[in-house]
Structure 1
Amino acid sequence: MSRLVVVSNRTADLRKAAAGGLAVAVKESLQQTGGMWFGWSGKIRDAAPESDSETSVRLQTIGNIQLATLDLNQQDYDSYYLGYANDVLWPVFHYRLDLANFDVRFAAGYRRVNQLFARKLLPLLRPDDIIWVHDYHLIPLAAELRAMGCGNRIGFFLHVPMPPPLIMAAIPEHEWLMRSLFAYDLAGFQSEADVTHFTHYVESEAGADALPGAQLRAFNRTLRVGAYPIGIDVDEFAALAQDREGVEMFDRMRQEYSRRRLLLGVDRLDYSKGLPQRVHAFRELLANYPENRNSATLIQIASPSREDVGAYDDLRREMDSLCGAINGDFGELDWMPVRYIHRNVARKRLPGLYRASRVALVTPLRDGMNLVAKEFIAAQDPGDPGVLVLSRFAGAAEQLKEALLVNPYDTHGTAHVIQRALTMSIEERISRHTALMGRIRQFDVHWWSSSFLRDLLAAERSDDREPVPGHSADRAS
């Protein structure tokens, strides 16, 4: 059996329980083949090395999995990670052109680090290895590997949304970036909408031809594309709800809020999550449906995220102001409408919090998938489940059609849907939850990894194994 090699920006600590999503799927897939996980260590060197040989790869074996990590210097971290990944690709892929910073130095650093990854990965590869590259940090990695003579089968999965062609075209290097994807054998996306956006881009910008079998032909290469919506380990997460910490959290919330109905948001503090719009909608709920005053409480967890980026400081100040204003305007001595928590909550406690909540608000402005929606479903009591209010702009909305879908920009409409969720009959809640639970079980994290790898192995190999034009292992920029 071929060995699986996973490449991502960061690796996980395999000695700890996987936190879900990518780590769960990768760990399981690697254990089946005794594979390798390659990525950045998370450490930053003070100075750039004088030669490439000074950037060493550290190898560590845990069970039958080999971890291979390397450090970045401060210049590469600033330009590749903070710069191009977080100041260009993240905002553009989430439709926020107003927050993008198209500094040419960022693009040079992004290419340089992808070349570094390729140079350090190549000597570790075996001829029959299957390589699975993850996310927007490493879009050009396969092209750099091809330029160095790598002929292995390579797949790519984009965890964030794929923007429409005209938004993608705002990136100065968009042609080079999208051409890079044709060095892969299979490109996977979170949703059919993402596949459509990519297909329309390469048809309009590169004159690509659509071929049978979900294939696209451009740049003398053939690329298979498909939607592979990532899932969760449903049984594992449901079991967490029955563990001690999950049960304790559930009992504590039910006791503390015995006279309240809980609405819950669990997000990173990120401008893509629609947090200010969510708080505005909750304010509309209290203003337009006064029966919820002194009755409904919103618990909003906003974990710290990218705190060294200016846009996140602005968002934190806005959230502090909005939540304080609602509590000041509507709060009573024995009731605060909003409990805003800007810190991480242990994953083992989340199932109990989900289970105690009558409504989950998962209302991002744009999201690749959003696994909180699926975790909320998995944690519910099937005899008395809560209701999922879900943004139509989350990738999960393609699958979870029995949720109450909302437009998060329409705060008045969202407030109306929240009221519907709070007053929904138990019969309807059970019916919707049963359908949602069946779907997340069918398309769980194990289905995601196995279906992608199956299609990668089945993808037709391109006759042309020459480097993709515009990529060179020797380019210094």
Structure 2
Amino acid sequence: MSRLVVVSNRVADPRKTAAGGLAVALGDALSTNGGLWFGWSGTIVEGGTPGEGDMQTQQAGNVTLSTVDLCREDYDSYYLGYSNGVLWPVFHYRLDLADFDAGFIGGYRRVNQMMARKLMPLLRPDDIIWVHDYHLIPMAAELRAMGCRNRIGFFLHIPLPPPLILAAIPQHEWLIRSLFAYDLVGLQSQADVDHFSRYVGQEAGAETLDKHQFRAFGRTVHAQAFPIGIDVDEFAALTHGKDAREMFDSMKDEYSRRRLLLGVERLDYSKGLPQRLRAFRHLLQQYPENLGSATLIQIASPSREALDTYSGLRQELESLCGSINGDYGELDWMPVRYIHRNVARKRLPGLYRVASVALVTPLRDGMNLVAKEFIAAQDPADPGVLVLSRFAGAAEQLKEALLVNPYDTHGTAESIQVALQMPLAERQKRHQKLLERIRQQDVHWWRKTFLQTLTDMAPG
């Protein structure tokens, strides 16, 4: 059997449950026949040489973990500069936030070349290579240039924007051409596949062989939607764990006279947090029966705080929360509880389960697994309601959620009110359908389907 080699920006020990469902799923695949997980160590070496990095290797059961350090200059240009200062905002449709400094792309290419150079000697002729996410788009092209003929697949965890937005990236032709070095390109949604198809046809003159096959630059690539899921049984089991039960019991007791609305995400401008808070304010204005009753718990865990955009977003959120609490709060009730820190994964299912409504309203998201975790954590006899942005990749699957346009403050508030007033029978019916959907395409389906598709292809 072929060995699986996973390449990602960060590497996790799959034996640690805190690593999350994705790490566990990939770890299962790696462990089956022995495997290698390769990526950045997370270590930044001050004063190091650009394009060079020390490599460390350790065993995690049957899985080899190989990581490379980055020097400060490479970290600033590859990670902060190009990956998160250019690709992240553009791929989330935020051209206004992209920093198109031409110097960043040099660091991005340099680090991908360095990682390919470190990885190449570790590869075996029959390895299957699976590269993950926007940090490493050129990885296959660098490996091919060094003579690698293995099957190589790529999965983009974030959305792929329409052609005109992609075309705003300086050297976008090189970036998308790099994808043709892969045998298989996996995307989160059919909308993303459509954007890819239109771009390669309009900008690269690609020949469309069928709905998944595109030929350009002397190579044929297979592009297909593989919507990522969660381990439903694993997450449902966490709901009954000690930490989750303690969270559920304490919140149920504290908010016995309230209805909880919940938002959980990283602090990021793609998540639509200011728009969500304004919609909640509008809910309190238009439906005063929620005063003293509905409480929004908003968890926004720290993220990329070295970037000015994120510190500005934090200030905006804190101002909005303070304004809402000041205008509507009472001595015994605050409408918004804003938490800017991480909440342990083992405790989250209890918080999901006690919530009457989950607000998952990103302005743009590749998939959004919080929506699926919320569904998995619910009590089928008395489930909460999912309010979901139509601009999340999950909206293609989760059609029984209340789909909203997060830019429409009035419309989102109306949908939240519908969710709060929804009869039990309708909540149960919607939840049953949603649970069926996330079970059909869980994280194991995602991994098996992607790897089987890649395995069936001719290498190189």
Q: Report whether the alignment pairs 1:5 with 2:11.
A: no
Residue in structure 1 matched with residue 418 of structure 2 by the alignment: 420
Give me the whole-angstrom Cα distance separating, in 1, the residues matched to 2:118 and 2:291.
Answer: 59
Give me the whole-angstrom Cα distance separating, in 1, the residues matched to 2:264 and 2:420.
Answer: 18
**Quick check: 1:224–1:459 contact (8 Å CA) kept in 2?**
no
For 2:59, which of 58, 61, 64 is the aligned residue? Answer: 61
Q: Which amino acid aligns with 1:445?
A: V
**Quick check: 1:360–1:376 contact (8 Å CA) kept in 2?**
yes
Residue in structure 2 matched with residue 472 of structure 1 by the alignment: none
Residue in structure 2 matched with residue 233 of structure 1 by the alignment: 231
Give me the whole-angstrom Cα distance separating, in 2, the residues matched to 1:306 and 1:171.
Answer: 22
Structure 1 residue 48: deviation in Å?
Answer: 2.6
Equivalence map 1:166-315=2 (5 Å): 166-212=164-210, 214-315=212-313
State the secondary structure of the residue aligned to 1:347.
coil
Q: Which amino acid aligns with 1:5?
A: V
Give me the whole-angstrom Cα distance separating, in 2, the residues matched to 1:184 and 1:193.
Answer: 20
For 2:346, which of 341, 348, 354 is the aligned residue? Answer: 348
Residue in structure 2 matched with residue 47 of structure 1 by the alignment: 47
Residue in structure 1 matched with residue 22 of structure 2 by the alignment: 22
> CA offsets, 1:401-454, max 9 Å, x none?
000000000010000000000000000000000000001011000000000000
Equivalence map 1:82-101=2 (5 Å): 82-101=80-99
Give aligned-pair identity as a percent. Answer: 72
- More divergent stretch after superposition (168-177 vs 206-215): 206-215
Give me the whole-angstrom Cα distance separating, in 1, the residues matched to 2:33 and 2:80.
Answer: 34
State the secondary structure of the residue aligned to 2:44.
strand
**Quick check: 1:140–1:181 contact (8 Å CA) kept in 2?**
yes
Q: Which residues of structure 1 form unaligned runs of 5+? A: 466-477
**Quick check: 1:367–1:395 contact (8 Å CA) kept in 2?**
yes
**Quick check: 2:109–2:138 contact (8 Å CA) kept in 1?**
yes
Structure 1 residue 26: deviation in Å?
Answer: 1.1
> CA offsets, 1:361-413, max 9 Å, x none?
00000000000000000000000000000000000000000000000000100
Structure 1 residue 13: deviation in Å?
Answer: 2.9
For 1:336, which of 334, 337, 342 is the aligned residue? Answer: 334
Residue in structure 2 matched with residue 155 of structure 1 by the alignment: 153
Give me the whole-angstrom Cα distance separating, in 1, the residues matched to 2:262 and 2:113.
Answer: 43
Give me the whole-angstrom Cα distance separating, in 1, the residues matched to 2:50 and 2:73.
Answer: 13
**Quick check: 1:187–1:225 contact (8 Å CA) kept in 2?**
yes
Paired residues in the alignment total 460
Q: Which amino acid aligns with 1:4?
A: L
Residue in structure 2 matched with residue 132 of structure 1 by the alignment: 130
Residue in structure 2 matched with residue 327 of structure 1 by the alignment: 325
Q: Which residues of structure 2 form unaligned runs of 5+? A: none
State the secondary structure of the residue aligned to 2:180.
helix
State the secondary structure of the residue aligned to 2:350.
helix
**Quick check: 1:24–1:445 contact (8 Å CA) kept in 2?**
no
Give the 3 Å change call, closer, same or farther, for CA 224–18 of structure 1 in structure 2: farther
- More divergent stretch after superposition (26-35 vs 448-457): 26-35
Q: CA RMSD in A?
A: 1.1
Residue in structure 2 matched with residue 473 of structure 1 by the alignment: none
> CA offsets, 1:328-365, max 9 Å, x none?
00001100000000000001010000000000000000
- More divergent stretch after superposition (208-217 vs 231-240): 208-217
Q: Report whether the alignment pairs 1:404 with 2:389.
A: no
**Quick check: 1:294–1:335 contact (8 Å CA) kept in 2?**
yes
Residue in structure 2 matched with residue 36 of structure 1 by the alignment: 36
State the secondary structure of the residue aligned to 2:327.
helix
**Quick check: 2:39–2:68 contact (8 Å CA) kept in 1?**
yes
Structure 1 residue 317: deviation in Å?
Answer: 0.4
Structure 1 residue 57: deviation in Å?
Answer: 1.8
Give me the whole-angstrom Cα distance separating, in 2, the residues matched to 1:90 and 1:107.
Answer: 13
**Quick check: 1:7–1:131 contact (8 Å CA) kept in 2?**
yes
Structure 1 residue 460: deviation in Å?
Answer: 4.4
TM-score by length of 2: 0.99
Q: Which amino acid aligns with 2:9?
A: N
Q: Which amino acid aligns with 1:22?
A: L
Structure 1 residue 79: deviation in Å?
Answer: 0.3
Residue in structure 2 matched with residue 357 of structure 1 by the alignment: 355
> CA offsets, 1:128-159, max 9 Å, x none?
00000000000000000000000010000000
Runs of 4+ in 1 over 4 A off after TM superposition: none
TM-score by length of 1: 0.95
Residue in structure 2 matched with residue 437 of structure 1 by the alignment: 435
